[in-house]
Structure 1
C-alpha cells in the first residue's frame, strides 16, 4: 500500500510539473529572483535622488530576462521603465533602450533582495498566502489513490504540502515556492514541481491540462 501511495504521489506532483513552457521556468538559473520586489522608505519625506524624493520602488523580474522598474515619488508621481537584464552570482546588469547599461551588486535569498545596499522584500499576490485543503482532486490514477492535499503557503515564500492516501498513509514536502504569471513552482529537497494556478477569494485551483489533472482547494 505504501508503494502504491508513493507511486500516486509521484504521478500527482509530476503531472503538475509538465506545462507547455514549464521547462523554461523550472530550469531558470536564478528562480528565487523572479517576482515582484519592493523597497519602502522608512520616512515620510522619502529618499532624495537627483532632486526627487522617492517613497517606494518596485522591480519585477521575469524568466524571459525582462524587467520593469516603478518608482513612487512622495507627491504620488510614478516613474516607470523597463528593458532586459543579465545576471551572474554577484552582479545584475540592466539594459534599457537609449540609456547606458546599469550594473549593480546584489545579494539574494528566497524573500530578500539587497541591491547596492538597498533591501527589497518579495510580496506574494493578495490572498495567495494561507492554508489550503483540497475539496476535489481529479485525474486518472490519482483521484483513486490520493484522498486529500493540504498546502500551506506562507507570505515569506516558504511552503509545506501534505498528501494523504486513500489507505491513510501521508507524505509531506517542505521548501520554497515562487510564482510567475499563473504558474507556481514548489522547490523542496527532492526536486521541484510546477502547476498552473487560479486564485479565487477562498479557492485555489491547481491544474495540468495536458494530463487532465486538477485539484481544487479551499482556504481554511
Structure 2
C-alpha cells in the first residue's frame, strides 16, 4: 500500500513553474472566477440596487479583474493587483484606485464585503472519469486503474488501483488555473496539467513522462 501511495503521488506530481507557483500560493482557494447575482431580481425596481451581477477573477500572480453589470445594461470593468491576509483584501486598480474589503473564502464560496460570490467551473470538467490508458516509466506497470470524480462545487474523490487489486482513495477539494489541476486532501496534495477534449480528459506529467487518458462516465 505504501508503494501504491507513492505511485499516486507520482501520477499527479508536476515540476512546472506554473504548478509550483499555484501550489505555493498562500490562498489557492481564491484563485478562479467568482460570480455574484443580485437577489433583488423580483423586487420592485425602486428597491433594487445599482448592479445586477458582478464577476471577479483572481490569479496566483496577485492580479484581479472585475466586471460589474449595471441595471441599465452598462458594464464597468477594472483590473489591477491585490494583496491580502486571512481577513482583509486590498485591491489596487491600474489607475491607482485602492479599496480594502473584509472577506471569507472556502472551496466554492467567497464572502466579500457582505456579498456572497460563487466560484464558477468554467471548463466542463465535472463528472466521473475512468482511465482507459495510463503510460509512463514509473507508473505504467504498477497502476491498473484510475478513477476521478470532480464535482461542480470543487469537491473531488479519487481512487487508484494497482494490478493486484489494492487501491488508495482520497477525498478533498480541488482548484484550477489555466491548465493546472491541484487536488488537496487530508495530509497531502497532488498536481498535474490537463487537457480536455469533449469527454476525454488527459492528465500529464512531463517530468516522469506520464500521461493518463480518461473518459467521462456517461449515465444513460
Q: Same fold (TM over 0.5)?
A: yes
Question: Structure 1 regions of 5+ residues with no counterpart?
Answer: none
Match of 2:24 in 1: 27
Q: 1:156 to 1:89 in 2, by over 3 A?
A: same
Q: Check conservation: 2:126, 2:149, Cα contact below 8 A.
A: yes
Question: 2:26 aligned with 1:5, yes or no?
Answer: no
Other-structure match for 1:155 = 152
Equivalent residues of 2:11, 2:205 under 8 A apart: no
How far does residue 192 in structure 1 lie from its aligned partner after superposition?
A: 1.1
Q: After TM superposition, list the pairs within 5 Å mapping 1:40-189 onto structure 2.
A: 40-44=37-41, 47-48=48-49, 53-189=50-186
Mapped contact 2:170–2:185 kept (Cα < 8 A): yes
Where does structure 2 lack aligned partners over 5 or more consecutive residues?
none
TM-score under structure 1 length normalisation:
0.91
Paired positions, count:
213
Q: Is 38-47 or 104-113 further displaced after alignment?
A: 38-47
2 CA distance for matches of 1:47 and 1:60? Answer: 25
SS in 2 for 1:18: coil
Q: What CA deviation, in whole Å up to 9, does each residue of 1:150-206 have, x standing for no partner? A: 000011111011001011101001111000111011011121111111112111111
Give the alignment's Cα RMSD to 1 decimal: 1.6
Please state whether the residue corresponding to 2:215 is helix, strand or coil. Answer: strand
Q: Shift of residue 23 of structure 1?
A: 1.6
How far 1:56 moved relative to its partner?
0.8
SS of 1:168's partner is coil
